[in-house]
């Protein structure tokens, strides 16, 4: 038996996604599997075993049909031997195929669209943060697969802040961001955190889409539904995750909200606002821009030059959470986007955009919020 015969690819684990269509020696023909009941796909996560020291070519032949094919330009896949440190490996996109070339330095390596954030790590995060002084945990309800929708409540101040992430499960950088934000917010030695906890009450949902996360989806839940198009009218059958979270928001009110995401194509960190909502006020807009500009001043990884087009007056899509919350509560709301690629303003050849940078951005967003918190009018 040749050494290449012992090489294998598998994805039968939390957030795994790949199909092996064929192989020729050390060249594998692969395909990303669509989200269940959906045509969305782009997330991949698989294990390559038995190839230590062997150059392997991994060809994802259906890349052109992915949800965001522009995301493949200048993209490099993530690879790890220990699932702790993720490095970028040579990746090319041509003729509709994404080709990854890797020579593993270990018997098993994992490859993924971005460094995964597993449901087990999610449970560890929730358990660790819930055990910190002054933190309460609540199960808001169940997903369609029967998983828990976790809510962490921190602080005792009059301002009401909601942070929620990973409506799109393949955007795993969003939960890395959450880990960084939660670690800072519960740090007893951090003066910003102490001040925030005194001045605001934080309601935090680290993962809005546990089912899609575990299933290895890019964008949808167990029913193939994009949760960020459900906020106008969530239902138990399609979007219980949004239904439970929005019901709690209606009880608490919202003064500031941030929805954390990743963008496949744009190689920058940016936020999107709610300019087109019917109930727009100039004061809301002023406070949104104050937060945006404060974050830009504080954090070199964040910029304001590039982002999404701004909706025309009255034309905002109210099925999206940021628009719905800003319109519903008169609050300041923002959608934060991080790159799957690298941050073109501050490129890192080894890691690209990374879990570590996502975590630090989470902490930095709290610093920006701390600066503007007194400007926010408390609704309740």
Q: What is the pLDDT of residues 124-164, one digit of tens each?
A: 999 999 999 999 999 999 999 999 999 999 999 999 999 99
Alpha-carbon dihedral sign for residues 69, 223, 33, 76: positive
Distances (CA, A) of 95 to 39, 71, 278, 299, 332: 21, 15, 44, 38, 44
Residue 275: pLDDT over 50: yes
pLDDT of residue 236: 98
pLDDT of residue 3: 59
Mean predicted confidence (pLDDT) in 347-370: 98
Shared domain for 143 and 216, answered yes or no, is yes
30: CB partners within 8 A, 6+ apart: 9, 18, 19, 20, 21, 44, 46, 58, 59, 60, 61
pLDDT band at residue 377, thresholds of 50, 70 and 90? confident
- Give the chain's largest Cα–Cα span: 72
Residue 16: pLDDT over 80: yes
Mean predicted confidence (pLDDT) in 369-378: 94
Residue 5: pLDDT over 80: no
Distance CA 366, CA 189 (A): 15
Shared domain for 309 and 222, answered yes or no, is yes
Residue 268 lies in a domain: yes
Distance CA 209, CA 169 (A): 6
pLDDT tens digits, one per residue of 210-268: 999 999 999 999 999 999 999 999 999 999 999 999 999 999 999 999 999 999 999 99
Shared domain for 81 and 145, answered yes or no, is no
**Strand arrangement of the beta sheet that strand 87-89 belongs to:** 8-10, 45-49, 108-112, 77-80, 87-89
Residue 173: pLDDT over 50: yes
For residue 145, count other CB atoms closer than 10 A to its CB: 13
**CATH number of the CATH domain containing 250:** 3.40.630.10
> Which of residues 92, 112, 132 is at a domain's end?
112
> Which of residues 56, 91, 112 is at a domain's end?
112
Mean predicted confidence (pLDDT) in 284-296: 98
> Which of residues 112, 133, 168 is at a domain's end?
112
pLDDT of residue 379: 64
Report yes or no: 30 and 20 within 8 Å, Cβ to Cβ: yes
283 tagged catalytic: no
For residue 282, count other CB atoms closer than 10 A to its CB: 7
pLDDT band at residue 378, thresholds of 50, 70 and 90? confident
Structural domain count, the chain: 2
Shared domain for 215 and 354, answered yes or no, is yes
User: How large a percentage of the chain has pLDDT more than 70?
Assistant: 99
Shared domain for 194 and 104, answered yes or no, is no
Residue 10 lies in a domain: yes
User: Long-range pairs for 374-377 at CB < 8 Å and ≥24 separation?
Assistant: 374/199, 375/287, 375/290, 376/159, 376/255, 376/256, 376/287, 376/332, 377/255
Answer whether 0.75 is exceeded by the pTM.
yes
Shared domain for 266 and 349, answered yes or no, is yes
Shared domain for 175 and 95, answered yes or no, is no
Mean predicted confidence (pLDDT) in 281-296: 97
Domain that includes residue 12, residue range:
3-112
User: Long-range pairs for 30-33 at CB < 8 Å and ≥24 separation?
Assistant: 30/58, 30/59, 30/60, 30/61, 31/60, 31/61, 31/62, 32/60, 32/62, 32/63, 32/66, 33/216
pLDDT tens digits, one per residue of 93-135: 999 999 999 999 999 999 999 999 999 999 999 999 999 999 9
Shared domain for 104 and 164, answered yes or no, is no
Distance CA 172, CA 122 (A): 11
Alpha-carbon dihedral sign for residues 48, 53, 59, 63: positive
Distance CA 6, CA 8 (A): 6
Residue 330 lies in a domain: yes
pLDDT of residue 372: 98
CA angle 85, 89, 91 (to 5 degrees): 145
Shared domain for 245 and 324, answered yes or no, is yes
**CATH number of the CATH domain containing 9:** 2.60.40.3120
Catalytic residue among 171, 183, 230, 337: 337
For residue 158, count other CB atoms closer than 10 A to its CB: 13
Shared domain for 352 and 250, answered yes or no, is yes
Residue 82 lies in a domain: yes
More confident residue, 361 or 379: 361
Shared domain for 124 and 108, answered yes or no, is no
Shared domain for 158 and 90, answered yes or no, is no
pLDDT of residue 254: 98
Report yes or no: 293 and 304 within 8 Å, Cβ to Cβ: yes
Residue 147 lies in a domain: yes
Residue 380 lies in a domain: no
pLDDT of residue 251: 98
Query: What is the gyration radius of the CA atoms in the chain, in angstroms?
Result: 21
């Amino acid at each position: 038996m040749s050494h290449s015969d012992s090489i294998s690819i598998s994805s039968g684990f939390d957030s795994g996604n790949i199909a092996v269509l064929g192989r020729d020696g050390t060249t594998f023909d692969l395909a990303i599997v669509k989200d269940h009941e959906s045509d969305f796909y782009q997330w991949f996560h698989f294990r390559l075993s038995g190839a230590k020291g062997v150059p392997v070519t991994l060809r994802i032949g259906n890349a052109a049909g992915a949800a965001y094919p522009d995301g493949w330009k200048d993209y490099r896949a993530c690879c790890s031997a220990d699932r702790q440190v993720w490095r970028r490996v040579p990746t090319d996109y041509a003729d509709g195929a994404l080709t990854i070339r890797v020579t593993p330095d270990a018997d098993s390596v994992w490859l993924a669209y971005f460094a995964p954030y597993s449901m087990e790590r999610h449970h560890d995060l929730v358990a660790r943060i819930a055990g910190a002084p002054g933190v309460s945990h609540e199960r808001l309800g169940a997903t369609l697969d029967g998983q828990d929708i976790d809510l962490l409540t921190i602080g005792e101040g009059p301002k009401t802040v909601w942070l929620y992430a990973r409506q799109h499960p393949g955007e795993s950088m969003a939960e890395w961001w959450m880990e960084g934000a939660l670690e800072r917010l519960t740090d007893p030695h951090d003066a910003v955190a102490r001040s925030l906890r005194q001045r605001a009450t934080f309601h935090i949902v680290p993962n809005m889409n546990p089912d899609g996360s575990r299933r290895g989806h890019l964008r949808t839940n167990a029913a193939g539904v994009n949760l960020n198009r459900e906020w106008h009218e969530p239902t138990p059958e399609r979007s219980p995750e949004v239904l439970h979270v929005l019901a709690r928001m209606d009880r608490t009110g919202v003064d500031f909200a941030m929805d954390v995401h990743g963008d496949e194509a744009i190689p920058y960190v940016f936020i999107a606002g709610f300019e087109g909502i019917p109930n727009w006020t100039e004061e809301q807009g002023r406070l949104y821009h104050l937060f945006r500009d404060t974050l830009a001043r504080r954090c070199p990884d964040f910029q304001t030059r590039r982002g999404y087009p701004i909706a025309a007056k009255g034309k905002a899509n109210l099925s999206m959470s940021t628009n719905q919350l800003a319109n519903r509560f008169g609050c300041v709301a923002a959608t934060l986007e991080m790159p799957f690629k690298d941050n073109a303003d501050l490129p890192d050849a080894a890691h690209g955009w990374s879990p570590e940078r996502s975590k630090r951005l989470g902490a930095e967003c709290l610093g920006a919020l701390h600066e503007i918190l007194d400007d926010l009018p408390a609704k309740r």
